């Protein structure tokens, strides 16, 4: 199992330096995971999309890279199946409880259907991998990539949706109102 990079205690800094340090840490993390090239880092294009609640959700999901796939699994201890993974991330990150099945997540009325060319980090992406629509789900991370728990014998990983296998199986995407989810979770505490 891969582990997330260890946190390093930052030296005291001004508010502006703290923002830069946080950005640098995010940049390093994304670059180490192969999600951000040096060119993207320099253009700052991708970083502008990783500074909101959806980004926190994506970064939370990255902490589970390498956790084994387990059919019906929904925790780090037991492993994850695809929908157990998305359910866990959304519940722990933003307090939004999703159904356990991928097709039920796709049909959830509180999630808004979106077009593939409108994807943003944190959106759910669905695929037909078992000869039925919405049979697989992952979380869009940006730049055409998504994180998911793929199949037995594998582990949580990031893949490119533009690869032929995924491109021909894409069946839709959904977006949660993360602002409302965060507001609701704070009311429950």
| Phi, psi (rounded to 5 degrees) for 73 | -75, 145
Q: Which residue has the tokens 């970064």?
A: 59
Q: Do the beta carbons of residue 62 and residue 157 sit within 8 Å?
A: no
> Token pair for residue 88?
């866990």
Question: Active site residue: 33, 88, 145, 148, which one?
Answer: 148
Assess whether 136 carries a catalytic annotation: yes
Assess whether 138 carries a catalytic annotation: no
Question: Active site residue: 87, 136, 145, 174, which one?
Answer: 136
Cα separation, 173 vs 189, in Å, equals 30
Q: Which residue(s) pair with 124 in the sheet?
A: 139, 174
Q: Which residue(s) pair with 172 in the sheet?
A: 126
Q: At what angle do helices 82-94 and 53-62 cross, to 10 degrees?
A: 130
181, containing H or E segment: helix 178-187
3-state secondary structure of 169: coil
Question: Active site residue: 36, 82, 119, 124, which one?
Answer: 82
Burial 162-185 (b: 16+ CB within 10 A, else e): eeeebeebebbbbbbebeebbeee
Residue positions annotated with a catalytic role: 82, 136, 148
């Amino acid at each position: 199992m891969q582990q997330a990079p260890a946190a390093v205690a930052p030296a005291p800094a001004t508010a502006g330096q703290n923002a830069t340090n946080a950005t640098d840490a995010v940049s390093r993390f994304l670059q180490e995971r192969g999600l951000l090239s040096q060119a993207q880092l320099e253009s700052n294009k991708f970083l502008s999309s990783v500074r909101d609640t959806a980004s926190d959700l994506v970064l939370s999901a990255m902490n589970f890279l390498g956790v084994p796939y387990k059919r019906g699994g929904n925790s780090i201890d037991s492993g994850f199946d695809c929908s157990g993974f998305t359910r866990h991330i959304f519940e722990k990150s933003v307090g939004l409880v999703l159904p356990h099945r991928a097709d039920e997540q796709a049909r959830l009325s509180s999630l808004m259907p979106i077009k593939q060319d409108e994807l943003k980090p944190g959106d759910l992406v669905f695929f037909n991998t078992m000869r039925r629509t919405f049979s697989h789900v992952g979380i869009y991370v940006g730049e055409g990539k998504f994180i998911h728990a793929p199949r037995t014998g594998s582990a949580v990983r990031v893949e490119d949706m533009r690869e032929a296998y995924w491109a021909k199986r894409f069946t839709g995407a959904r977006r949660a109102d993360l602002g409302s989810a965060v507001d609701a979770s704070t009311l429950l505490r």
